[in-house]
Amino acid sequence: MISYEYLLSDINNIKGIGIKTSKLFRKKNINTIFDLLWSLPRDTVDRTNIVKINELQIGKIQTIIINVRKYNFPRIRNLPNRVLCDDETGKLECIFFNSYEGYIKKILPLGKKVTISGKVGYYKKKYQITNPTHISTDVNSVKKIFTTYSLTEGLTEKKYNNIINEVLKNIPDLSEWLSDEILEKFNYISWKQAILELHESKNIKKKGNFLNRLIFDEILATLLINSKIRKSIKKIKKNKKKFDNKEFNKIKDKINFDLTNDQLSTIKEINDDLKSNQKMFRLLQGDVGSGKTIVAFVASMNVITSGYQVCLMAPTEILAKQHFNQAKKLFDNNINISLLTSKTELKERKLILNDLSNNHINIIIGTHSLFQEKIEYNNLGLIIIDEQHKFGVKQRKKLSDKGGKNCDVLVMSATPIPRTLVMTAFGDMDTSIIKYKPLNRKQIKTYSKPDNKINEIIKFVKKQIILKNQVFWVCPLIEESKKIDHQSSVKRYEDLKKIFKDKVGLLHGSLDKEEKNNILIKFLNKKIDILVSTTVIEVGIDFPNANTIIIENANKFGLSQLHQLRGRVGRGDKESYCILMFKSNLSENAKKRINILKKNNDGFKISEEDMKLRGYGDLLGFKQSGLQSFRLADPIINEDLFFLAEKEVKKIELENKSLHKYITLLKLHDRADILNDLV
Ligand code: ADP
Ligand code: MG
């Protein structure tokens, strides 16, 4: 066995682990020895202080030396076995559920002095210890400080400690992968020393550099792989796209606003990529409403001008349709634009596929069905993915491969994530950021109201409608059930209809394409004033005349999600409002979160605060992002280590070192398999 393989071997190989115990570990997601070692202890139990029976404190874990006096093994099933013990100051009973007599006689031999430790109870004027876990005739084996781990039922602290100690004895020496410069920052602690020390009870409260060293390893593994992917994509030489500013100027003439400086600079970054002979693999980040779409269309136009096809993928049908309509307005008639979603009729679909392979379509806009089927492009030059934060590193890599060597890739995301997470989740890409929104945007006024104040809300809505504004009314997914979700929106729709008559529309997940489109068009054409919906309006859709959004049960949403929803309004230049409804008696945490939203309009700030409260795992969609989760590292708490690792990776890149030295690290952290697919 190569030495590191021991660490990756199955826990079944550990001496003392049977099928039953290994099942308990697997329940806790511990499958390999590495998993076991990297699950660090949580706390300690001090069993060093030995007391007399008359000094025992009820409810505490205590250690005592006792004489075993008498067995009491009842013949009736389900009654516990008891052993009467004493010392010179009093009596104590040991109680055993589910233990055989033979076993009890062995661990508590009659007449012997035994050290036992356990939680002390008191019943019918007698001290007792039920199912004591630490019993020995050898005082020193009990009189210790034990580390405690997060246990599942059936896995005792003693058993866990025995297993860990067995493993700690056997861990191999591996050659160091960190550079001297980095090691110096962690006091030259090796990974092995770090692991050994972290499982020591004395270090539980002061983990310091032992822990930092391991966290750094974990971050480095992730960033190294990202860098490797980025480099391997850059290595692909493509044909340069050739275009001038003519089409861009035409587009500028067609829009009724000036592009912001950030939009202009991102367009330039993208153009430079398109014109170079390196494949573009770029993330365009910008808060909701920052104006990413127009940037995407300018890029599309340039790619089309240089003789290539473009494919734009949106997360929902509605958004695809809206992009499609906007493209039609923006592009000249000689540009062929098509829409393809899972709902496109078979006959039409065939025509589209045919046209794509014949180069009769210049830009195809659609949903993820664009990538699921076998579509043959004639000459694909750019893939744009809008709002697809659920795409993981591996999926994006596949996508880039699928597009072929001449195909550039642009991913757009409104999920405002802090830089440490960008490094992690999008570290395989270059990034452009639209930091500032167009200046005409006003702050969206955000209020919260308990459900029972609904009459005030209705009054407010009436006023907005008189002012010729439109209103979104969002009913969230309750209990993750489509059916209930549906019912809640239907009920609200019907209630509102009683007041606003036929000026209310309902949009929910079970409507078919036609029905959805009809309602959206009605809303866009101001035939209806209020659109009741489930969260289907969440991403990207643009309704400039809507200035108010009401969100029911707001505490069911994550902050970033609420911010995204709120971003559906305030896109024009009028005063806009977001009203968060909630059931009364919100928890303190929920109140804090709603306040963050009220006070901030900057998606980055909001997501950072949200992560502080809920951890990064809950951040919009990141659970499903294929982002490999960290065991130890936390992008908020360990920000400095992320930046340190980023610097180190840049150095490794510059020196053009092979990753050979890091293979073990990558394997241990399960980051290595993607290496096989890379050039
Ligand atoms: P997102 O970044 O969320 O995708 P959009 O691209 O949908 O944002 O843009 C939101 C709205 O802002 C659209 O109505 C768009 O026409 C408008 N918009 C985009 N850029 C500007 C700008 N520079 N000035 C004013 N309005 C703009
Ligand atoms: Mg958008």
Q: How far is the CA of 293 from the centre of ligand 1 (A)?
A: 7
pLDDT at 520 over 50: yes
Q: Pseudo-torsion of CA 21, 27, 28, 32, nearest 10°?
A: 60
Q: In the predicted model, what is the mean pLDDT of residues 343-358? A: 91
Q: Among 542, 545, 568, 620, name the best residue to mutate to test ligand 1's pocket (greatest count of ligand atoms within 8 A of Cβ).
A: 542
Nearest atom within ligand 1 for CA of residue 387 = 4
- CA-nearest of 396, 417, 410 to 311 is 410
Instruction: With beta carbons less than 8 A apart as the criterion, state whether 217 and 671 touch.
Output: no
**4-62 pLDDT, tens per residue?**
899 999 999 888 888 888 898 898 889 999 999 999 988 888 888 889 998 999 988 89
- Give the lowest-confidence range in 318-327, 418-427, 471-480: 471-480
Q: Among 251, 252, 261, 290, name the best residue to mutate to test ligand 1's pocket (greatest count of ligand atoms within 8 A of Cβ).
A: 290
* Pocket, ligand 1, Cβ cutoff 6 A: 257-260, 263, 286, 288-294, 414, 438, 440, 540, 542, 544, 571
The pLDDT-based confidence of 1 (bands split at 50, 70, 90) is low
Cβ neighbours, 10 Å, residue 523 = 24
Looking at the CA of 287, name the nearest ligand: 1
Q: How far is the CA of 588 from the centre of ligand 2 (A)?
A: 33
The set of residues, in sequence order, having a beta carbon less than 8 Å from that of 431 and lying 6+ positions away, is: 282, 283, 284, 285, 422
Higher local confidence (pLDDT), 582 or 628 = 582
Please give the pLDDT value at position 301.
Answer: 97
**276-310 pLDDT, tens per residue?**
999 999 999 988 788 999 999 999 999 999 999 99
Instruction: With beta carbons less than 8 A apart as the criterion, state whether 540 and 319 touch.
Output: yes
Q: How far is the CA of 511 from the centre of ligand 2 (A)?
A: 23
Q: How far is the CA of 374 from the centre of ligand 2 (A)?
A: 26
pLDDT at 221 over 90: yes
* 246-434 topology per CATH: Rossmann fold (3.40.50)
Please give the pLDDT value at position 126.
Answer: 87
* Dist CA 572 CA 256 (whole Å): 12
Q: In the predicted model, what is the mean pLDDT of residues 345-371? A: 91
Please give the pLDDT value at position 620.
Answer: 47
Q: How far is the CA of 292 from the centre of ligand 2 (A)?
A: 6
Instruction: With beta carbons less than 8 A apart as the criterion, state whether 76 and 111 touch.
Output: no
Nearest atom within ligand 1 for CA of residue 572 = 14
Q: Pseudo-torsion of CA 422, 425, 426, 427, nearest 10°?
A: 80
Please give the pLDDT value at position 392.
Answer: 67
Q: In the predicted model, what is the mean pLDDT of residues 167-180? A: 93
Q: In the chain, what percentage of residues exceed pLDDT 90?
A: 46
* Dist CA 621 CA 557 (whole Å): 12
Q: In the predicted model, what is the mean pLDDT of residues 89-109? A: 89
pLDDT at 373 over 80: no
Residue 200 has which token pair?
């020591």
Alpha-carbon distance values, 101 to 109, 129, 135, 298, 544 (Å): 11, 17, 15, 82, 79
Distance of CA 49 to the CA centre of its chain: 44
Q: Among 251, 252, 254, 257, name the best residue to mutate to test ligand 1's pocket (greatest count of ligand atoms within 8 A of Cβ).
A: 257
Nearest atom within ligand 1 for CA of residue 293 = 6
Nearest atom within ligand 1 for CA of residue 544 = 14
pLDDT at 71 over 60: yes
Name the average pLDDT for the chain: 86
Looking at the CA of 266, name the nearest ligand: 1
Highest mean pLDDT among 191-205, 261-275, 518-532: 261-275
* Dist CA 495 CA 506 (whole Å): 12
Task: Report the alpha-carbon angle 92-98-104, nearest 5.
Answer: 55
Looking at the CA of 286, name the nearest ligand: 1
Residue 211 has which token pair?
């822990």
Q: For atom 17 of ligand 1, which residue has the closest CA? A: 291
Looking at the CA of 387, name the nearest ligand: 2
Q: In the predicted model, what is the mean pLDDT of residues 456-485? A: 82
Q: How far is the CA of 554 from the centre of ligand 2 (A)?
A: 22
Looking at the CA of 296, name the nearest ligand: 1
Please give the pLDDT value at position 479.
Answer: 46
Q: For atom 20 of ligand 1, which residue has the closest CA? A: 291
Q: How far is the CA of 291 from the centre of ligand 1 (A)?
A: 3
User: Does CATH number 2.40.50.140 belong to domain 48-143?
Assistant: yes
Q: How far is the CA of 370 from the centre of ligand 2 (A)?
A: 18
The pLDDT-based confidence of 579 (bands split at 50, 70, 90) is very high
Q: How far is the CA of 283 from the centre of ligand 2 (A)?
A: 13
Q: For atom 5 of ligand 1, which residue has the closest CA? A: 291
Q: For atom 10 of ligand 1, which residue has the closest CA? A: 289
Long-range contacts, 24-33 (Cβ 8 Å, 24+): 24/152, 24/153, 24/154, 24/155, 25/155, 27/152, 28/150, 28/152, 32/7, 32/8, 33/6, 33/7, 33/8, 33/9, 33/167
Superfamily of domain 445-600: P-loop containing nucleotide triphosphate hydrolases (3.40.50.300)
The yes-or-no answer to whether 48-143 and 246-434 have a common fold is no
All structural domains of the chain with their residue ranges: 48-143, 246-434, 445-600
The pLDDT-based confidence of 624 (bands split at 50, 70, 90) is very low
Nearest atom within ligand 1 for CA of residue 288 = 3
Looking at the CA of 252, name the nearest ligand: 1
The set of residues, in sequence order, having a beta carbon less than 8 Å from that of 660 and lying 6+ positions away, is: none
pLDDT at 544 over 60: yes
What pTM did the predictor assign? 0.72
Please give the pLDDT value at position 618.
Answer: 55
Q: In the predicted model, what is the mean pLDDT of residues 592-599? A: 87
Q: Among 285, 293, 386, name the best residue to mutate to test ligand 1's pocket (greatest count of ligand atoms within 8 A of Cβ).
A: 293
pLDDT at 253 over 60: yes
Q: How far is the CA of 414 from the centre of ligand 2 (A)?
A: 7
Please give the pLDDT value at position 573.
Answer: 72
Nearest atom within ligand 1 for CA of residue 296 = 6
Q: In the predicted model, what is the mean pLDDT of residues 633-644? A: 90
* Dist CA 112 CA 95 (whole Å): 18
Mapped onto helix, strand or coil, the DSSP state of residue 493 is: helix
